[in-house]
Structure 1
Amino acid sequence: MRKYALFILFQIYAGTVLMAQSQNRITFDTSKVEIPMSRVIWHENIDKEQKRTDKVDGKVDNFLKLTSNEDLNIQITDVILREVDEMQIRIERGEGDNNFKIGQLRSLRELLQAIAGRAKEKEVPPMIPLLFTSYEEVMKRQSTGQSVLSVFEKLPYQGTEILSGIFTQLKEAQQIKNMAFLKKVQLNPSNILSGIAAFSDQPFADSLIEVAANKIPLEVYTYAQAVKTPAAQVIRRNKNPKVQTIAKLSSIMNGTLYLPFLDELLSGQLAIDDIKAVVENELAYYKLIVKTQIKYYNRISQGDTPVLAPVLFQMLERKATDVFVNVMNDLHDSPDAVRMRVSDPLTSEEIYYLLVTTEEVIYTSTYTKLYDRMMTRFPGRRSDSLMMAVHFDRFKKFIKMAANYNRLDDFLKSMPEIRSNQLMYAFVQGLQKTSSLEDAVDVADSYGSITNVDLQNFLKRQVKENYEKSLQVKDRRGEVIYNILLTLFKSAADTSMNLSALLGIPPVYKVDFNSITDDSGRVVQHVFFYGDEDGITSFRNFMGMFNGKPEWKVVTGKEWVTITSTKGKPYTIYANLPLDYKQDLDAQAQAHLIEYLNKNNINPSFVVHRGHSYHLKYTLQQMLPSSRIVMLGSCGGYQNLAKILNVNEDAHIISTKQVGSYSVNEPILRALNDDIRNGRNIEWIPLWQQIANSVKSDVRASELLKDYVPPHKNLGAIFIKAYRKATGEM
């Protein structure tokens, strides 16, 4: 639409609206209208906003592609590029003096600005036509002095929020703001505390704080700590007992150590002084957490929901890791009497929680020694009594770990056969009923570690029965989960089965050489090192594979080393130097190397993590989407597997049950490097046999290799791939 000077034609040129995938145009009649010079600038500003809004989808082409629905996109385009022009005409032709019309034009421009500013929120584009209809209805009611509340009541909260920000001068403006806020917090209670300051004098403020205390108590605690803020003042004036208790805890030094026991405090089962008596004693505090966790889980299994139960379990994980398991891990070269001393005062139940909460960090030797202690510390040494004592909390995780560490047979034999069958029956039941895939992945991982043929057959029968039951009741999720498990279980004994064809996933037993090369035919490996003592030693051993070798050229820079093949296929390895972690120099080196790779369009297809498992999260955060082969120097638990497959859904993952050992890592890397440098496809079964033969003379390395899981035996990773392929879920 073009606007001319005073008393010149006001001509609508609703130009074009591109139809989806075509060049068809929508045209309409032009009209004439006289525009005073004082309002020309307002019309021009609206023109600019129309163009700005048109650009939101990335290009100015008279078509707004803001949703995946092409019909809706056409409606949105029509509203922004034609209906807005019509509205400008109606404003000019309507009643009202110059200031009134300027006000209407200003509000129309503000509406366009608000839409352009929030168009990338997925909820906003679909309501654009409704927003303009509501906008006109508000203007109409405003001009006749009618209430506009009913218009805002029909809008979703985003629409109410947008229009309330435009019509700030309405006599019902505060009621509308209240309405928008209440709609927003109803959708997500987390919005209560971030916005309550603006509504602290409203009658509903105190009620919302009580809602927050019930729904998001941890956030109430956090906001209450900033005592001088309006939000904290609203919290602290509240008379609700739960809110008062949270506010009181927020004022206590180390209050986060008290917070996990909020439910016990509110019910009178514990007093603040009870917690204060143990909070400075790590052992006593851990024992109280375990006692409370057992109580909470018993209530949860009966349908109750203790306040902040997840926070209690997070604290349990933290203390189990930092106070006990990491200490024993770090003393792995010390005599058992020294290394295991920290666990001396613990009961079987308390050791059980050490095991099930530290899967990602616990060393194999730490696990086995703790397991032995756990098994000797309960009456009668009947393992089913231990399970009953913890109310079967995390028992599937325990079984998975016991299987992985070759302790499941021992554990099951320590109870009557009928009990062990019941336990394993429960292990594979109801996998489709949880929101996460973790339990199903644990079952898949466990099976790969079970050597007892009778137990393997029992699990196969149970999985088959669950699959058939899912088919009968038309439970699609159950059908998918149990079909994949049954297929994986069968393939474990029959490698001739074509899992790719059966599960619809990429090849499991091999990686084609051409699939890991870049456009120039080169393969790139990216290695992450960390600057602690272990990382420095690991790096030195790693470089021993290349320094002085005629088939490799080594160039060491300020922050990373570049290793290039001089014979065979083009192959480049980039590894950051293990610089001082205390100054974060190792992290900087990793970041700068990734910047270099991105800047030069270098896409690593082979990624190696070298270091303790607590460093692994940083490697996973920085992995590039081109990562096709991933070698972890630590456990490949569900969370880690899922994160890797989120980066590259076809990744082949080598994981270990403990921190990687040089005596095993180097034979694996040497074998892979040799295949890659010679342009061979990577065949996992023969390659793994070759690696086993290469370490056979080293008894310790041969034993440690058993802790490594090659891609074709990584049933957890294969399960996730197959499930995602079958369901389209991520």
Structure 2
Amino acid sequence: MKFTPMSYKYLTLFSVCILMGSTVLAQNRKNKKEDKQQQEAAAPYMVDTFINPIPTQRALFTTKVYNVIDQIDKRDGKIDEYVKFRDDASSETATQALIRDASRLVMIVENMNADHASKIRYHRMVEASLKRLNQLPWSEMKARDFTEHIAAIRNMIIADHEKSLTAYVTQNPNLVTLEYIENFDDVAAKTKLYEQLAAKYPEKLVHKLPSIIKEPYADHIVTAAAKVMPGTILTYAQSNSQLSGLVRRNSDPLVKNIVQIADKSRNTLKVLPFLGAIHRGEKTIAEIDKIANDDVQYLQALVDLVVADEQMGRRDLEREINIRTAKYVREINALHDASDAVRFKSIQGFRDIDYYVMIIGGQDEIYTSSFTRGPFALMIGKMGEKSGDQLLGELHHYHFRTFIRLTAGFSRLSNFLGTMKEEEKTRLMKMFVNNLEEGDVDDLTDAVDVADAYGSIKDSTLIQFLKDEIRSNYERVKFGKQPERHRSIWSSRLYF
């Protein structure tokens, strides 16, 4: 073949095109590789495959994670990558979280831009966290809780790797975060979390004190717990353990008052209900000690705290009321064959409000005759011109649903309501059945009181009134914020 200048021109152009094409292809491959590297560097947690194979020296630690996942999988009896949990929808949610999402935690750690030692540390965190999740009371959990827990484990590990765990706990100060925070060595993050949760969940955090006793955030928990469970702080102050030193080093004035009770009182548990009055300077430890062994004076002092609507140390107040009133109830029960003059001699001289509180405190043990001829009859007699509405108001309606249940059960409700004007009766019985949905999710005490009283009431007019109020309340709350609690409380099966 004879090549002309034009042939060379075209050959040259062709060669240039080939070379340019090769260059473009090479550049495209390079760009794709760089894009992939940039993507992996920017979001290694989003990659849905292992960027690199798991090295042999880390395989042991990833295997331990998978073993825990297998243990979770086996809870329903077999390993089949399916977690059976209540209904089908809940099982699918649980499976997604506990099998698929949990397995991805290994991938997330492996794809991190971290050194070998750090990845081992994170695999251990995942293993410990999944073990903790497997030990939680699943009977009290919902399927979506598993999703929340796995997400927390994932996000906390990522936050720790990115040196932002403190920021994470600041934005997520909840009990799920608390479950896993001890897997991390970030003191600043722990301090922030415990400070935020101390005031909100002191009852839960106070039980962690033995394991965090040397940490600075332990003091925040003691301070917060003193306000709602001073009895526990008193026990710690009196102990011979390191917990005593933890409490005694605290500078909070209320905690210091608890320590003073521990050191100066001869009757610490009897004095504790008066912590609020002592803290405010209204009473002294010596004054309470002086009356602590006088049954009448002490019980009346407790009732005065109810009248004052004392909230500090409320559990301790309730405990002491139950102990002191039960003593009287047992005594009059034991004398059931004696004359009323003998039988009820020990409870003469009390005030009407004292008898009311005596009825509440002794509710679990009081006999019918003890109730009707003893505290109740004496209370009505002492009331004189005072109405039941005034009596309840003086006591801030202290356990008034329980009182109505008892009076209905012992066929004395009409006697009590008879001391009131018609509008007072109506207002009281509305209060009796209204707003039962308020309070803790698991606390159905008031609802049970209403249901029990409803079953004991014989007045047809009153029964119809209560039915109408219950229906009205059911309609009001059935689409509220706590539908499960509302259904359990206002279910018509309880009342109709």
User: TM-score normalized by structure 1?
Assistant: 0.50
Contact 1:66 1:119 survives alignment (8 Å): no
Contact 2:97 2:146 survives alignment (8 Å): no
1:61 alignment partner, one of 66, 79, 93:
79
> How far apart are the structure 2 equivalents of 1:53 and 1:259?
48
> How far apart are the structure 1 equivalents of 2:290 and 2:54?
82
> How far apart are the structure 1 equivalents of 2:169 and 2:457?
62
Structure 1 equivalent of residue 10 of structure 2: none
Contact 1:428 1:443 survives alignment (8 Å): no
Higher strand share: 1
Q: Deviations over 1:565-595 (max 9, x none)?
A: xxxxxxxxxxxxxxxxxxxxxxxxxxxxxxx
> How far apart are the structure 1 equivalents of 2:394 and 2:259?
35
2:405 alignment partner, one of 390, 400, 405:
400
> How far apart are the structure 1 equivalents of 2:247 and 2:370?
45
> How far apart are the structure 2 equivalents of 1:406 and 1:110?
62
Aligned length: 425
Could you tell me how far 1:326 is from its partner in structure 2? 0.5
What amino acid is the match of 1:61? I
Could you tell me how far 1:383 is from its partner in structure 2? 5.6
**Residue 127 (structure 2) pairs with residue 112 (structure 1):** yes
Structure 2 equivalent of residue 546 of structure 1: none
Q: Deviations over 1:89-128 (max 9, x none)?
A: x58xx78xxxx52553354144224313333435565332
> How far apart are the structure 2 equivalents of 1:200 and 1:32?
43
Distance 1:254 1:439, change over 3 A: same
> How far apart are the structure 2 equivalents of 1:442 and 1:130?
40
Could you tell me how far 1:80 is from its partner in structure 2? 4.0
Structure 2 equivalent of residue 19 of structure 1: none
Structure 2 equivalent of residue 232 of structure 1: 244
Structure 1 equivalent of residue 8 of structure 2: none
> How far apart are the structure 1 equivalents of 2:337 and 2:279?
46
Structure 1 equivalent of residue 373 of structure 2: 369
What amino acid is the match of 2:410? Y
What amino acid is the match of 1:423? K
Kindly report which structure 2 residues correspond to 1:24-63, keeping only aligned pairs within 5 A, or say none. 39=57, 42-57=58-73, 58=75, 59=77, 61=79, 63=81
> How far apart are the structure 2 equivalents of 1:111 and 1:30?
17
Structure 1 equivalent of residue 268 of structure 2: 255
Q: Deviations over 1:429-463 (max 9, x none)?
A: 36231335544554554455445xxx532552464
Could you tell me how far 1:184 is from its partner in structure 2? 5.1
Question: Residue 325 of structure 2: SS of its match in structure 1?
Answer: helix
Could you tell me how far 1:362 is from its partner in structure 2? 0.7
1:341 alignment partner, one of 320, 341, 345:
345
Contact 1:286 1:319 survives alignment (8 Å): yes
**Residue 316 (structure 2) pairs with residue 311 (structure 1):** yes
> How far apart are the structure 2 equivalents of 1:83 and 1:440?
45
Contact 1:356 1:398 survives alignment (8 Å): yes
Question: Residue 135 of structure 1: SS of its match in structure 2?
Answer: helix
What amino acid is the match of 1:248? Q
Question: Residue 258 of structure 1: SS of its match in structure 2?
Answer: helix
Contact 2:330 2:366 survives alignment (8 Å): yes
Structure 2 equivalent of residue 422 of structure 1: 424
Largest Rg, 1 or 2: 2
Distance 1:332 1:43, change over 3 A: same
Structure 2 equivalent of residue 242 of structure 1: 254
Could you tell me how far 1:350 is from its partner in structure 2? 1.8
What amino acid is the match of 2:326? T
Contact 2:109 2:119 survives alignment (8 Å): no
> How far apart are the structure 2 equivalents of 1:449 and 1:402?
9
What amino acid is the match of 1:365? S
Contact 2:213 2:246 survives alignment (8 Å): yes
Structure 1 equivalent of residue 39 of structure 2: none
What amino acid is the match of 2:493? A
Structure 1 equivalent of residue 13 of structure 2: none
Which runs of 5 or more structure 2 residues have no equivalent in the other structure? 1-47, 481-485
Q: Indicate the larger mover: 439-448 or 247-256.
A: 439-448
Question: Residue 342 of structure 2: SS of its match in structure 1?
Answer: helix
> How far apart are the structure 1 equivalents of 2:108 and 2:220?
45
Kindly report which structure 2 residues correspond to 1:61-80, keeping only aligned pairs within 5 A, or say none. 61=79, 63=81, 65=83, 68=90, 70-71=92-93, 73-74=95-96, 76-80=98-102
User: TM-score normalized by structure 2?
Assistant: 0.70
Question: Residue 428 of structure 2: SS of its match in structure 1?
Answer: helix
> How far apart are the structure 2 equivalents of 1:64 and 1:393?
51
What amino acid is the match of 2:403? F
> How far apart are the structure 2 equivalents of 1:380 and 1:60?
72
1:286 alignment partner, one of 295, 299, 308:
299
Question: Residue 363 of structure 2: SS of its match in structure 1?
Answer: coil
Could you tell me how far 1:368 is from its partner in structure 2? 1.8
CA RMSD of aligned residues (A): 4.2
> How far apart are the structure 2 equivalents of 1:232 and 1:258?
19
Which runs of 5 or more structure 1 residues have no equivalent in the other structure? 1-27, 297-304, 479-483, 485-502, 504-641, 643-715
